Amino acid sequence: MKQVATRTHTEQYDAYIGGKWVSAGKRFPVYDPSTEEVIAEAADCGPSEVDRAVAAARAAFDSGGWPQTTAQERGRILFRLADKIRQNAAELAELEARNCGKPIVEAEFDIADVATCFEYYGGLATKIMGHVNPVPDNALSLSLREPMGVAAQIIPWNYPLLMAAWKLAPALSAGCACVLKPAEQTPLTALHMAKWLEEVGLPPGVVNIITGYGETAGAPLVQHKGVDKVAFTGSAAVGKGIQKAAADTLKRVTLELGGKSPNIFFADADFEAAIDGALFGVFINQGEVCSAGSRVLVEKKIYSRFVEAMTEKARKIKLGPPLSRDTKMGPVVSKEQYDRVRSYQELGKKEAKLATGGGRPGGFPSGYYVEPTIFYDVDNTARIAREEIFGPVAAVIPFENETDAIRIANDSNYGLAAAVWSRDIFKALRAVKAIRAGIVWVNHMQPTYVEAPWGGYKQSGFGRELGPWGIEEYLETKQVHINLNEQPIGWY
Ligand code: NDP
């Protein structure tokens, strides 16, 4: 078993504000969820650091310096940041895996995606274009695209640096200034990246990173009068509060929230691929994925065989320390998340039948490890079928036919993602049209590309990230009317 080299010292981080490292006077501990040990301490920011960070962002934006940088220059800065991330990919992946518990191999994919995201939006900076509007008068009517201003960006812990990139890259490309708040559990890679921001040419104040808790750092940031836009990724419960808090100053808001995504298997699907797809859909990243295929809908004709095969393969999933290269599932991120997943495992035993898992695995004296768990004969009204668990827990639900499958799939408050498995392209496409979700995969689940839109229907949020859609969320449209007549208007 090849191990990646580990660090032993505890690093201390301040907040990154106005291009400087700023002490908040106190720090909070950051853990390695595989050992439960403190591996770093980060600034416990509160309202006064939020004020400073927003002031720095406002100054960078209002001075006109950053928004008036040429698109080429903004693009080059993002390319340089992407290069820096690639050059330091091994170190970042190790830090990410240690801090959030994901297997190192998955962390390496994440970091590669981070670099690609900055590169993509570096390229898009020079493609932001306005319009000439075909008005009927002797006038030139233009639509200009302008950066929205100062963006508050609040992110979760499951893909820490990738979520930071999904927020920062389009905002910077558009010419916005940012205040980023990583999740309290996983601030390390974003802080690590901050060390390079000046070097790649970002003026001070364009990106500020404040660490801290949701209530004391996140809430004042959302309420702050100096913020023009809030981009939030996290739970639906917190998202609802953010929308209310942002309403007082009518901030623009985008919400990327949770899901309870159906992964639908028709009897004519490629069986082996289907089993892999069901496991990958729900267990990748310990199931801590907003688009996790946590409702596994299986046609009755193949149901028993499917549950059996899925269970057999799930039992072989290799749990282990995040830094071991053969680990397929690490610990969940925190004690709080561990308790949450464990409580749903116990609830599931009352609501449905347990096929495998359902507890803490043996052989791990410490760390927030939970067994990959499959419940079957789950009714779609059960709490384990309706509530987002955000851990490795699958609810397998039988269905009769196509109509039944679509009915169950859409019977959810969420609408982030779904997948359909079938060799019948007509059936698959009918399902694609009928499913109310922002992302629908056919014969796969989870591939995500910076070129394609990401976001939810229903209570999975609104707004879209990634692709050209992502940059739209950071742009305002200004209409300009230029009168080409030399005579007075002649009304009075
Ligand atoms: P939370 O909603 O608990 O937290 C998300 C972020 O919001 C954290 O930075 C948190 O800070 C902050 N926060 C908490 N309370 C407030 C508040 N009152 N005001 C402002 N900010 C606040 O989600 P988790 O971190 O637990 O992440 C899991 C959730 O994220 C899941 O529901 C998942 O589905 C969703 N998610 C959605 C994605 C999507 O693209 N749709 C992608 C990834 C995750 P702190 O942690 O410091 O308390």
Q: Each residue's pLDDT tens digit in the chain (492 positions)?
A: 333 444 445 789 999 999 999 999 999 999 999 999 999 999 999 999 999 999 999 999 999 889 899 999 999 999 999 999 999 999 999 999 999 999 999 999 999 999 999 999 999 999 999 999 999 999 999 999 999 999 999 999 999 999 999 999 999 999 999 999 999 999 999 999 999 999 999 999 999 999 999 999 999 999 999 999 999 999 999 999 999 999 999 999 999 999 999 999 999 999 999 999 999 999 999 999 999 999 999 999 999 999 999 999 999 999 999 999 999 999 999 999 999 999 999 999 999 999 999 999 999 999 999 999 999 999 999 999 999 999 999 999 999 999 999 999 999 999 999 999 999 999 999 999 999 999 999 999 999 999 999 999 999 999 999 999 999 999 999 999 999 999 988 889
Residue with tokens 């929308």: 243
Which residue has the least CA distance to atom 34 on ligand 1? 258
Tell me, using a 6 A CB cutoff, whether residue 249 lines ligand 1: no
Tell me how far apart the alpha carbons of residues 135 and 300 are, in angstroms, rounded to a whole number.
Answer: 59
In the prediction, which pLDDT does 254 show? 98
Residue with tokens 């799930």: 314
**Cα(233) to centroid(ligand 1), Å:** 6
Ligand 1 atom at minimum distance from 258 CA = 34
Tell me how far apart the alpha carbons of residues 101 and 328 are, in angstroms, rounded to a whole number.
Answer: 11
**Cα(339) to centroid(ligand 1), Å:** 17
Tell me, using a 6 A CB cutoff, whether residue 475 lines ligand 1: no
Probe residue for ligand 1, chosen from 99, 154, 251, 255 as the CB with the greatest number of ligand atoms within 8 Å: 154
CB 374 within 8 A of CB 357: yes
Ligand 1 atom at minimum distance from 212 CA = 47
**Cα(462) to centroid(ligand 1), Å:** 15
DSSP line for 186-237: --HHHHHHHTTTTTTTPPTTSEEE--S-IIIIIHHHHH-TT--EEEEES-HH
In the prediction, which pLDDT does 196 show? 98
- What order of strands is seen across the sheet that includes strand 393-399? 353-356, 373-376, 393-399, 295-299, 262-265, 417-421, 439-442
CB 50 within 8 A of CB 22: no
In the prediction, which pLDDT does 489 show? 87
**Cα(454) to centroid(ligand 1), Å:** 17
CB 156 within 8 A of CB 390: no
In the prediction, which pLDDT does 64 show? 84
C-alpha closest to that of 378 among 411, 351, 408, 346: 351
Q: What is the pTM of this model?
A: 0.96
Q: Strand 11-12 and strand 37-43: pairing?
A: parallel
C-alpha closest to that of 209 among 148, 165, 147: 165
Which residue has the least CA distance to atom 39 on ligand 1? 256
Q: What does the buried/exposed string (b/e) look like for 39-67 if buried means 16 or more CB atoms within 10 Å of the residue's CB?
A: bbbbbbbbeebbebbbbbbbbbbeeeebb
Ligand 1 atom at minimum distance from 221 CA = 20
Catalytically annotated residue among 290, 299, 371, 388: 290
Tell me how far apart the alpha carbons of residues 207 and 180 are, in angstroms, rounded to a whole number.
Answer: 7
Q: Name the 3-class secondary structure at 373.
A: strand
**Cα(154) to centroid(ligand 1), Å:** 7
Tell me how far apart the alpha carbons of residues 395 and 375 are, in angstroms, rounded to a whole number.
Answer: 5
Overall size of the chain counted in residues: 492
Tell me, using a 6 A CB cutoff, whether residue 390 lines ligand 1: yes
Start-to-end CA distance of the chain, whole Å, equals 87
101: its two tokens: 């518990």
Ligand 1 atom at minimum distance from 156 CA = 25
Probe residue for ligand 1, chosen from 100, 110, 189, 235 as the CB with the greatest number of ligand atoms within 8 Å: 235
393: its two tokens: 């827990």
Residue with tokens 């749990």: 319
C-alpha closest to that of 210 among 78, 99, 56: 56
Active-site residue, 117 included: no
Tell me how far apart the alpha carbons of residues 447 and 279 are, in angstroms, rounded to a whole number.
Answer: 14
295: its two tokens: 């409702």
Residue with tokens 């104040």: 205
Tell me, using a 6 A CB cutoff, whether residue 113 lines ligand 1: no
39: phi then psi, degrees, rounded to nearest 5: -115, -10
Tell me, using a 6 A CB cutoff, whether residue 154 lines ligand 1: yes
Cα distances (angstroms) measured from residue 55 to each of 45, 150, 215, 234: 15, 10, 20, 25
389: phi then psi, degrees, rounded to nearest 5: -90, -35
**Cα(258) to centroid(ligand 1), Å:** 9
Q: How many CB atoms lie within 10 A of CB 353?
A: 13
Tell me how far apart the alpha carbons of residues 47 and 179 are, in angstroms, rounded to a whole number.
Answer: 13
Amino acid at position 167, single letter: K
Active-site residue, 290 included: yes
Tell me how far apart the alpha carbons of residues 217 and 375 are, in angstroms, rounded to a whole number.
Answer: 38
Tell me how far apart the alpha carbons of residues 170 and 74 are, in angstroms, rounded to a whole number.
Answer: 11
Tell me, using a 6 A CB cutoff, whether residue 222 lines ligand 1: yes
Q: At 306, which helix (H) or strand (E)?
A: helix 303-315
9: phi then psi, degrees, rounded to nearest 5: -90, 160
Which residue has the least CA distance to atom 23 on ligand 1? 234
Tell me, using a 6 A CB cutoff, whether residue 216 lines ligand 1: no
Tell me, using a 6 A CB cutoff, whether residue 416 lines ligand 1: yes
Q: Strand 207-209 and strand 177-181: pairing?
A: parallel
Tell me, using a 6 A CB cutoff, whether residue 288 lines ligand 1: no
**Cα(274) to centroid(ligand 1), Å:** 31
Q: Which residues on adjacent β-strands are paired with residue 230?
A: 152, 253
Which residue has the least CA distance to atom 45 on ligand 1? 214
Q: Name the 3-class secondary structure at 377.
A: coil
12: its two tokens: 């201390």
In the prediction, which pLDDT does 337 show? 98
